[in-house]
Structure 1
Amino acid sequence: MMEIKGRLVWIFYLFFSCFLFLIFNLFHLQITQGRKYRELSDRIYHQRKEKLLAERGAIWDRKGTLLAFSEISSFLWVDWKNLRREGEKRVESLIDQYLPQIGESLGNNKETSWRRSFPPMKYELGKNFAQVLRKENLSHIMRVDNDFRRHYSFPFFTNILGAFSETEKKGLWGLEAVWDRFLRGRDGFIIYQKDAWGRTFPYPFYPRAEPEGGCDIYLTLDKDIMEISFEELKKGVEEFKAKKGSVLVLSCETGEVLAMVDYPLVDAEARFLRPYSLLWEFEPGSVFKFLIAALALESKDCDSFLMRKYDVSTGEIKIGKETIREYHNKKLGVLTFSDIFAFSSNCGVALLTSQLPLQDYYSLLLNFGFGCLTGIELEERRGYIPALELLKKGRKCSPHLYACNSFGQGLRVTLIQLACAYLAIANDGLLLRPYVIKEVKRGADTVLLKNRLVVRRVISEKTAKYLKEILASVCEKGTGRNAKIEGVSVCGKTGTGEKPYSQGRGYSEKAVTTFIGFFPKERPKYLVAVMLDEPIGPAAENSAVLFRRIGEKILFFSSLAGF
């Protein structure tokens, strides 16, 4: 009897334990995890949450020309794996009837379930076809999705605007990437109710959030000046057989970038194009000589430098143990201070360095913004000044390196840095920050960001005016004669920077040529910077010519536009 009673007790405890376990699990499922499973059930069986995509902001030029915009398109998806054989002809006939333009590709895309098999169609067309699918009870094997597609109006803006990923919904590079947080907006959502057959319909009591479109960006760029610059650059690169080229056009009054073009439009190495003028570092050559002229004019011995004669008749000069020679071994004779720069004498510039403090030169170089970022609203590089690195570490910079730097060898800069430095001369010694973003707007009236003029003085007004005269003489009687524009006084300088060997010391016969100039001299309005990589001949025969062609067309366009 006791044995039976003991068994009953154990059975009771067993059932009681199972009951407690059941109660605990019910409590866990209904109370602790109840919300989670209710939401899961709603998502699977009762509700469907759909994202409402925000329209990406548009990008405009300074005159209101649309450069980049998003347009809603529709995409047809077919579940080929679940499409029964007997229903296939029905689907084909519907597509042929309502979407004949994509019917041809129907038979070639039956590999993947719900594959995006067809090109995008217009939104209204997709909307009408979606209604047909619901009416024919085919929504379970075919559906129409809507999405925004990014479009670009002009190919020559590619280097600045960049690219947008339709799958990742973000900018990849260029303005699309740097300003992505302003352009992308904020997505909304809508929750649909499902019926017993899995069909969805809007339910008034479910939450809904409307999408908020992205901001519009207005650029300082001028579509017409961009097109002029691009067409002339393309002709120039092909005519002078250059590997690539860049052109910058800046407003002398504000520092606004009016044009920034590159050619070719495809970078074979990077597979996409980014602005060479911001990201490509090169040895500038003679276009850099203005800096030693500015230092001499700012020094207390300015009058002495201006009155002296400089004998460079041998075509070479010794600096320490090294010999500096003129470009192409020219013998230029005895030169005045101004002639050193008009005829681009390496030896004359080297003579000046022997009488000017090295430390002052590199301080002025930094003050002009070399070795620093310009502050433009795109990705850029600082350039590389080896002598500055030596001085920062407390080491000595050799007189030979100083002399080489003074005529643009042994250092690397970007085209935008050179353009800004010449812009300071055009503005009587005031350095302006370049910019491409004019303003950022949300809607028609709300301005979120507006750019302003940023200036600082780098040289005196007197020095800047004398430099203008020197640069004008370059175009009148010196190496920049091919840059002369009829009826307009031009100030500018050529530069032919030899390219160093990629391995080992020394320079190859290949060169980067530049011409940077502004006009008119009396009241500068436009600054044009031209760069060609490995063209035929020196800068005087290619970059200067290209500068003149672009300048003439800009002036003609400006007169027509009433500027």
Structure 2
Amino acid sequence: MKEVKKSFDKVFERRIRAVLLFFLVACAVLVGRLFIMQVVRHSQYTNLAIKQHGLTEELSSERGMILAVDKDGAEVPLALNKTYKVLVASPKTIKHPEETASLLASVFSLNQADVLARLSKAGDPYEIIARRIESQAAEEFLQRGIEGISFEDEMRRVYPNGTMASHLLGFVSGATGGESGQYGIERFFENELSGAVGLLSGMKDASGFLLALGRRVIHPPENGSSVTLTIDYSVQRKAEDVLAAAVSKWGASSGLVIVLDPKTGRILAEASRPAFDPNAFSGEKDFSIFLNPAVEASYELGSVMKPITMAAALEEKKVTPDSTYNDTGEVRIGSFTIRNFDGNAYHTQTMTQVLEKSLNTGLVHVARLLGKAKQEEYFGRFGFGDKTGIDLPGEVAGDLSNLEHGRDSDFATASFGQGIAVTPIQLAAATAAIANKGVLMKPYVVEKIRDDSGNETMRSPETVRSVISPETAETLTKMLVSVVKNGYEDRAGVKGYLIAGKTGTAQIPRRDGKGYMEDGAIHTFVGYAPAFDPKFLILIQLNEPKGNRFAANTLTPVFHDLAEFILHYYEVPPDEK
């Protein structure tokens, strides 16, 4: 019996030892595992914990404003940011969705069926019902105490002047916090306007909410810079008004106005029709309306190019204002016949009379004296065929490719602005060179950039090159003053001031490239004042106006109204004695 007990004790002891050994091994494994987790792989598991409970959020920056100025330098906002309210619902807490939907639809002018569909999502904790709610309207509604309805803040881009300068400004699109500039200044200066987002790190609880304890800003956001334009708010407003009236009066398909300072290249106004509202850009179906026709489209502009050809011939001393030629009313080049716009022959005419009467045959005569090489050279010197470098996106270079073939007929028609395509900003800058004593300036629309700390970067006028001599420029200006006084452009004149200018009525090429449209034309006027010390140049263009064939009838009164306003607005003293 004792031997049996002894044997049992030994077995029990071995089992106890085995159990203890198992627990010792298990403890050793556990301790080893803990050592690996807490010491060897401490950083790895810490990062996993941070990923699970930590939170990193972007802190959005505030976009910089876009500003115009007035004649005294006071800034006027064209694009800014505004805080709106977002109407938010928690359907799972709304007890009477039908009544709530009816009330929301009535107060905020919403579609009741759409609101009800969102409020009827059982168990849904969060639904956005409407955006761009004014703060006062939100506060008044909250006083009703409707359970499950709340409002959140949301920053939105706002254009307080609606369609004014829309092609110049562009717009901002994208979700809140991820907006980007589209078209115009908003696109070209995206980096400066947008600033830089910041980063916030912290811990979140099991529900996903950020805990106040432990929050820290890794990188603070940098607000965007404000961009101040060369645009004069009052001149822009007047340009918009006269353009809208002209487009409406003549039933034009489109039109534009450019006002610039010939001495600096500063753009004082740029208006286009049809325009769009950058506050509601998403409602536009035809995206081509967003393109800026002053820089992103080229046209055959007709007789407004005649002063360019005449400038080259004057500079090369091929003609003088009093040089004459015999106008027979037409010029034959092979099987091609060029006629004056009215089909008449004016016999002996001076070069000044050629511009006054806008004689196509006279410019063909001048171009022949100049020669093809020099004609093409001066087109290039005036900036045609190249981008001006204006600080706007999408600029095109125009099209002088017809001249590459060397055909006599192409150079003949180019002398009076047909067969070659130029942009309105090219023509404005080239004519401004004549006004600026022969010096071509680079056009620009941004005056300065101011960062969030108040540091300013000023942009200065840039000289491109001297195109013609001051003497040639003065001679041609005298001829263009005579055009306004004695030619078809007489209604462009402003009492007490010398105005230099020229109209153009151009045919529109067919889309198939086979000749020109029988109906429709492009009307253009370009002029500057005071003629011998110009404070501004105006280019006005109407596309496909109806009811009158010639720009001298449709645009000279428009130029008069705008020029008279600017002269008085800037208090320019009269120069005509």
Q: Please report the TM-score for the alignment, with normalisation by the length of structure 1.
A: 0.83
CA distance in 1, matches of 2:317, 2:90: 83
Secondary structure at the residue paired with 2:287?
coil
CA distance in 2, matches of 1:160, 1:527: 18
Q: CA deviation digits over 1:204-238, x for unaligned, max 9?
A: 46445432211000000011111111111111111
- Quote the residue 1:160 is aligned against: 168
CA distance in 1, matches of 2:144, 2:197: 28
One-letter amino acid of the counterpart of residue 165, structure 1: S
Q: How many residues align?
A: 523
Specify which of 58, 64, 81 is matched with residue 57 of structure 1: 64
Secondary structure at the residue paired with 1:248?
strand
- Quote the residue 2:351 is aligned against: 337
Say if 2:193 is the partner of 1:186.
no
Distance 1:488-1:449 versus aligned 2 partners, 3 A rule: closer
Q: CA deviation digits over 1:13-55, x for unaligned, max 9?
A: xx99xx99x979x879956853542222114xxxx44432211
Distance 1:111-1:333 versus aligned 2 partners, 3 A rule: farther
Distance 1:268-1:283 versus aligned 2 partners, 3 A rule: farther
- Quote the residue 1:256 is aligned against: 266
- Quote the residue 2:460 is aligned against: 451
Conserved 8 A contact 2:200-2:215: no
Conserved 8 A contact 2:202-2:214: no
Conserved 8 A contact 1:191-1:202: no
One-letter amino acid of the counterpart of residue 57, structure 1: G
- Quote the residue 1:299 is aligned against: 316
Say if 2:377 is the partner of 1:363.
yes
Distance 1:370-1:39 versus aligned 2 partners, 3 A rule: same
Aligned residue runs from structure 1 range 124-273, under 5 A = 144-154=151-161, 155-167=163-175, 168-195=178-205, 199-204=209-214, 206-266=216-276, 269-270=286-287, 272-273=289-290
Q: CA deviation digits over 1:324-362, x for unaligned, max 9?
A: 111131222221111111111111111122222211111
Aligned residue runs from structure 1 range 430-441, under 5 A = 430-441=439-450
- Quote the residue 1:408 is aligned against: 417
One-letter amino acid of the counterpart of residue 316, structure 2: S
Conserved 8 A contact 1:515-1:529: yes
- Quote the residue 1:462 is aligned against: 471
Conserved 8 A contact 2:97-2:120: no
Conserved 8 A contact 2:300-2:422: yes
Specify which of 296, 299, 313 is matched with residue 279 of structure 1: 296
Conserved 8 A contact 2:448-2:457: yes
Greater Cα shift, 545-554 or 377-386: 545-554
Secondary structure at the residue paired with 1:400?
helix
**Residue segments in structure 1 that go unaligned for 5+ positions in a row:** 1-11, 391-395
Say if 2:307 is the partner of 1:290.
yes
Distance 1:198-1:427 versus aligned 2 partners, 3 A rule: closer
CA distance in 2, matches of 1:121, 1:210: 28
Aligned residue runs from structure 1 range 509-528, under 5 A = 509=518, 510-528=520-538
Alignment identity in percent?
28
Larger Rg: 2
Secondary structure at the residue paired with 2:542?
strand
CA distance in 2, matches of 1:346, 1:517: 20
Q: CA deviation at 1:473?
A: 1.1
CA distance in 1, matches of 2:116, 2:75: 44
- Quote the residue 1:474 is aligned against: 483
Distance 1:193-1:76 versus aligned 2 partners, 3 A rule: farther
Distance 1:328-1:270 versus aligned 2 partners, 3 A rule: farther
Distance 1:253-1:192 versus aligned 2 partners, 3 A rule: same
Q: CA deviation digits over 1:182-210, x for unaligned, max 9?
A: 11112223345444665544224644543
CA distance in 2, matches of 1:260, 1:196: 56
CA distance in 1, matches of 2:216, 2:75: 41
Secondary structure at the residue paired with 1:440?
strand
Say if 2:341 is the partner of 1:327.
yes
One-letter amino acid of the counterpart of residue 227, structure 1: R
Specify which of 533, 536, 557 is matched with residue 569 of structure 2: 557
Secondary structure at the residue paired with 1:469?
helix
Conserved 8 A contact 2:167-2:290: yes
CA distance in 2, matches of 1:52, 1:561: 54
One-letter amino acid of the counterpart of residue 325, structure 2: Y
Distance 1:145-1:191 versus aligned 2 partners, 3 A rule: farther
Aligned residue runs from structure 1 range 384-403, under 5 A = 384-388=399-403, 390=404, 396-403=405-412
Say if 2:320 is the partner of 1:310.
no
Aligned residue runs from structure 1 range 95-134, under 5 A = 107=116, 109-110=118-119, 114-122=126-134
Greater Cα shift, 61-70 or 440-449: 440-449
Greater Cα shift, 525-534 or 58-67: 58-67
Conserved 8 A contact 1:149-1:166: no
One-letter amino acid of the counterpart of residue 478, structure 1: G
Q: CA deviation digits over 1:142-185, x for unaligned, max 9?
A: 76543210110212121111110141411121111111111111
Q: CA deviation at 1:59?
A: 0.9
- Quote the residue 2:280 is aligned against: none
Distance 1:131-1:530 versus aligned 2 partners, 3 A rule: same
CA distance in 1, matches of 2:87, 2:201: 22
- Quote the residue 1:70 is aligned against: 81
Say if 2:396 is the partner of 1:381.
yes
**Residue segments in structure 2 that go unaligned for 5+ positions in a row:** 1-21, 277-283
Distance 1:192-1:27 versus aligned 2 partners, 3 A rule: closer
One-letter amino acid of the counterpart of residue 350, structure 1: V
CA distance in 2, matches of 1:410, 1:262: 24
- Quote the residue 2:366 is aligned against: 352
- Quote the residue 1:501 is aligned against: 510
Conserved 8 A contact 2:391-2:444: yes
CA distance in 1, matches of 2:120, 2:389: 51
Q: CA deviation at 1:301?
A: 3.9
Q: CA deviation at 1:544?
A: 1.9
Conserved 8 A contact 2:186-2:193: yes
Q: CA deviation at 1:486?
A: 1.7
CA distance in 2, matches of 1:93, 1:501: 59
Secondary structure at the residue paired with 1:118?
strand
Q: CA deviation at 1:261?
A: 0.2
One-letter amino acid of the counterpart of residue 419, structure 1: A
